[in-house]
Amino acid sequence: MPRVLSASLRVLADIAYSDNLDLQSQQAPINYNGQMVLGTGSGANQGQLVFSDTRTLAASASEDLDLNGATLVDAFGAALNFTKIRGLIVRADPLNTNNVIVGAAATNAVFTMFGAATHTVTVRPGGVFALFAPDNTAYAAVATTADLLRIANSGAGSTVTYDIIIIGS
């Protein structure tokens, strides 16, 4: 039986922003729900593959996750070959001392979500980096030329732990 994917990825923000004035108070509440819903498939608003893990890197260490090299496995033990990334979530553990750096593999870097192969995103302790691409193009992972996603520990002295979720086709 083929695997079925049903996913709802969202960014929620419930913000109470106010100011007390002399005779009144002003409020500017923000209720934001950015949501992407995916079904099974390889086209727009669809995905077929999911990788998730909690990982730890030694001080000053890095690792290159091969998105299109059959080295990552899903929860069922199946090797994954992503060609399109629809969702990427990286959360740095709040107990980390160092930052988690995402992007800029030395060779064959997946870069379509960063703009260039040398660009990175810094995820501070307790922070979250989330990127969603529901359209048909999504973010490409091209085997042997642009499919390595580097995750790095920003410094010496302590390990970093991070959670990662990748959804795509």
pLDDT tens-digit readout, 103-142: 999 999 999 999 999 999 999 999 999 999 999 999 999 9
The band of 3, judged by pLDDT with boundaries at 50, 70 and 90, is confident
Separation of alpha carbons 149 and 151, rounded Å: 7
Is residue 167 scored above 80 in pLDDT?
yes
Q: Identify the burial level of 82 via C-beta atoms within 10 angstroms of its C-beta, where 0-12 means exposed, 13-18 middle and 19 or more buried.
A: buried
Q: Note whether residue 52 is domain-resident.
A: yes
**Cα torsion 82, 108, 62, 64: sign:** positive
Position 69 scores a pLDDT of: 92
Q: Note whether residue 117 is domain-resident.
A: yes
Q: Identify the burial level of 18 via C-beta atoms within 10 angstroms of its C-beta, where 0-12 means exposed, 13-18 middle and 19 or more buried.
A: exposed
The average confidence (pLDDT) of the chain is 95
Is residue 47 scored above 90 in pLDDT?
yes
Q: Note whether residue 12 is domain-resident.
A: no
Q: Note whether residue 57 is domain-resident.
A: yes
Position 2 scores a pLDDT of: 78
Q: Note whether residue 37 is domain-resident.
A: no
**CATH code of the domain containing 91:** 2.60.120.770
- Region 75-85: mean pLDDT is 96
Position 153 scores a pLDDT of: 98
Q: Note whether residue 94 is domain-resident.
A: yes
By the 8 A CB rule, do 89 and 167 touch? Answer: no
Report the domain count for the chain: 1
Position 41 scores a pLDDT of: 94
Position 98 scores a pLDDT of: 98
Amino acid at 92: A
Is residue 1 scored above 80 in pLDDT?
no
pLDDT tens-digit readout, 4-40: 999 999 999 999 999 998 899 999 999 999 999 999 9
Which residue segment(s) compose the domain that 109 sits in? Answer: 46-168
Position 65 scores a pLDDT of: 98
Cβ-based neighbours of 91, under 8 Å, separated by 6 or more: 123, 127, 128, 129, 162, 163, 164
Q: Note whether residue 33 is domain-resident.
A: no
Q: Note whether residue 28 is domain-resident.
A: no
Locate 133 and state its tokens. 């691409």
- Region 75-87: mean pLDDT is 96
